[in-house]
A and B are shown apart, each in its own frame.
Chain A
Amino acid sequence: MTADRKNNAEDATGLPLAPLAMPQQVLVRQRRRGLFSHPRLAWLSWR
């Protein structure tokens, strides 16, 4: 273990700890289920 590594805050995995968010990207359009799931037609739906 080098001295340099001992001075960094490390997590249990052995890497330096400095989190950076990596949000999941949208790649697939959401499929609407049924005709009345469209916002403009929602008033036509019945329960």
Chain B
Amino acid sequence: MTSVRRSISLVFALVTSIAASLLAGDYYFADGVQWIDLVRIGLLALSTAWLAWGASIAFNGLAANPQTDVPSIPVRDFVRTAILVPVYNEDPVKTFSHVAAMAKSLAALDALGQFEFAILSDTRDERIAGRERFWVERLRAEVPDAKIYYRRRESNPGKKAGNIADFITHSGALYEYLVILDADSLMEGATLVEMVRRMEAEPELGLLQTLPKIMHSRSFFGRAIEFSASYYSPIYARGLSVLQGDEGPFWGHNAITRTRAFAQSCGLPELPGKPPFGGHILSHDYVEAALLARNGWKVRVDPDLIGSFEEGPDNVMDFAKRDRRWCQGNLQHGRLVAAPGLKWWSRFVFLQGIMAYVAAPLWALFLAASIVAPALSVVPDYFPEPGHLPVFPHVEQAVAIALLTGVFGLLIGPKLLVVLDGVATRRNHEFGGSLRTSLSVVVEVICTSLLAPIMMLFQTRSVLQVLAGADGGWPSADREAGRVSLQEAWTGSWWIVVIGLTTIGATYRLAPDYLVWVLLVAGPQVFAPLLIAATSHAPARWMNRLGLFLPSLERRQAAVIAMQEQLLARWRSLDEANKPEDGVPQRPVTISADEALHERSGA
């Protein structure tokens, strides 16, 4: 069945791409065939195929069964699971509050005895390391019944993958399963227990990935991302799950793996050559999933598993910074597409990841080619036969409109279908009802449309940097990145403004007929610093009163989040009262769901 779905989806993408190419050909060739038109059609074909593939994932998700069929097998009396929390220059007060909340959530179910926490520090900053040592004792005092290990590596070869491999080679034989988290991950105890149960029920399952929902967003941008992740992602993840079947994804965190399967399959080498294409594998998670599948283990994502959370970027700059690392990691996978023994679907997933980033420069090239094309066009011969009436080129405006409608349909159509599905299944009630949900969808689409041209340039720059050999490495995450000032936004995006203005100027000069369309792309680019700064602010009170981007019911009712927020508030006041001399700046308390509803001034 998986093969059938994959074939249908691929055919859909191909047919849509061919249809778009034919329509484009009708439009572009109206005044004769030129080489630039062939370039435009080629770029359009690739981009449309990519959009259509994305839409097909949503269609599959809407058609799929929302619940995973799990055999009903009781868990063995004692199954030892380690919960790994790799940290790298994080704020230990915040990270350890997550650990404490998860421990308490497990204790409430009388399940704490089956789990052990291992905080695996790769922290390089000695002041932060000192605070880690201080706060791990505070953590142990908070949850005395929890088994909590703390280890800091002297050096961090292999970064996060190496950190986890180090744990496995030191202590892995003790544990049946490993739950791999990030420093900002948070999971309900019931979810952790259920993950173990599902692994027990299917001995051939090597890795089970949950769909983490975003929490603790404060800014307009963050709340939009949180809404997208909660509202659309379960549908898309379901679609991904049915298409990927037993060769599913691993996203690096909020997942459980069978220790022996992972150890047997996922020892990652350094690739020959220097970064960005050589050296340590940056986006190791996709490779680990492919290697598990290569060794015959099933890898699956179960979107019906709720109670899995992570934090997301709260502003465009932070999003772009994270995206730069992911871009490098995905392009590096180009070295691995031909790796021996991989399943064909795993190779396709690598190509898919590469395309996710290459799509941006393709669109940029398409835009550039469209602006330049009129300047290169041949003047039509109005009198091909002397003495006869003039012959004018037949410009197919209807074809152009059909093409544009199709492209917008692929972009927006799936989202509208998710709304309609929400009406039919009453899922919209979790987001405040169909009216509020529709409002959030409309605003999210507008926000995405304004930011997409800016992100297109960030991603294009990332691709060019990687292809030019620039190694972005793995910078520490600024998980508390708050507002971006106009000055900071200008520093980070002045070059986008320049490109936007240049594009408008070139269009006015070379292809004035396209100016209105080009303004849809170049306009937001010209205002990039303003958009970046504005969306980093908290939503206005009136937006919250309307229920815009209302956190989902799952988010609002998550006991582990409430527990973590209370713990963090208490620890912050302790931290302030006993502030060490190291001068490490304190971080604000993260915003709770109630506060997000009633709007605070933010960080």
- In the complex, besides A20-B168, A25-B269, 9 extra interface pairs with C-beta distance below 8 angstroms are A14-B150, A15-B167, A15-B171, A18-B172, A19-B169, A23-B264, A27-B269, A27-B339, A28-B271
Name the A residues within 8 Å of B267 (CB-CB).
22-25
Please determine whether B165 and A15 come into contact, CB atoms closer than 8 angstroms. Answer: no
Residue on B nearest A29 in the bound complex, by CB = B340
If A20-B263, A22-B168, A27-B336 touch, does A14 touch B151 (CB 8 Å cutoff)?
Answer: yes
Q: Does B512 contact A (CB under 8 A)?
A: no
Residues in chain B within 8 A of chain A (CB atoms): 118, 140, 144, 147-151, 153, 165, 167-174, 259-260, 263-269, 271-272, 287, 291, 335-336, 338-340
B170 contact from A13, A27, A28, Cβ within 8 A? A13
Q: Does A45 contact B (CB under 8 A)?
A: no
Distance to closest chain B CB from A17 (angstroms): 7
Distance to closest chain B CB from A16 (angstroms): 5
Interface of A is mostly: loop
Residue on B nearest A26 in the bound complex, by CB = B340
Please determine whether B272 and A28 come into contact, CB atoms closer than 8 angstroms. Answer: yes
Expressed in whole angstroms, the Cα–Cα distance for A29 and B340 within the complex equals 7
If A4-B147, A14-B150 touch, does A25 touch B171 (CB 8 Å cutoff)?
Answer: no
Expressed in whole angstroms, the Cα–Cα distance for A17 and B170 within the complex equals 6
Please determine whether B169 and A14 come into contact, CB atoms closer than 8 angstroms. Answer: no
Expressed in whole angstroms, the Cα–Cα distance for A40 and B531 within the complex equals 64
Please determine whether B266 and A22 come into contact, CB atoms closer than 8 angstroms. Answer: yes
Name the B residues within 8 Å of A18 (CB-CB).
170-174
Q: Does A21 contact B (CB under 8 A)?
A: yes
Please determine whether A15 and B149 come into contact, CB atoms closer than 8 angstroms. Answer: yes
Name the B residues within 8 Å of A28 (CB-CB).
269, 271-272, 335-336, 339
Name the A residues within 8 Å of B287 (CB-CB).
27
Name the B residues within 8 Å of A29 (CB-CB).
338-340
Name the A residues within 8 Å of B264 (CB-CB).
22-23
Please determine whether A21 and B170 come into contact, CB atoms closer than 8 angstroms. Answer: no
Map CB proximity to B onto A9-47 as digits: 1 under 8 Å, 0 otherwise: 001011111111111111111000000000000000000
Residue on A nearest B338 in the bound complex, by CB = A29
Expressed in whole angstroms, the Cα–Cα distance for A17 and B272 within the complex equals 32
If A15-B149, A16-B149 touch, does A27 touch B173 (CB 8 Å cutoff)?
Answer: no
B263 contact from A15, A21, A27, Cβ within 8 A? A21
Distance to closest chain B CB from A33 (angstroms): 13
Distance to closest chain B CB from A30 (angstroms): 10
Distance to closest chain B CB from A25 (angstroms): 5
13 A-B pairs, CB-CB below 8 angstroms?
A4-B147, A5-B149, A15-B170, A17-B171, A22-B168, A25-B265, A25-B266, A25-B268, A26-B339, A26-B340, A27-B271, A28-B269, A29-B338
Name the A residues within 8 Å of B167 (CB-CB).
15
Please determine whether A24 and B269 come into contact, CB atoms closer than 8 angstroms. Answer: yes
Expressed in whole angstroms, the Cα–Cα distance for A31 and B340 within the complex equals 13
Expressed in whole angstroms, the Cα–Cα distance for A16 and B148 within the complex equals 11
A2 contact from B140, B165, B169, B266, Cβ within 8 A? B140
Q: For B147, B260, B291, which residue has the most chain A Cβ atoms within 10 angstroms?
A: B147
Expressed in whole angstroms, the Cα–Cα distance for A13 and B263 within the complex equals 20
Expressed in whole angstroms, the Cα–Cα distance for A20 and B272 within the complex equals 26
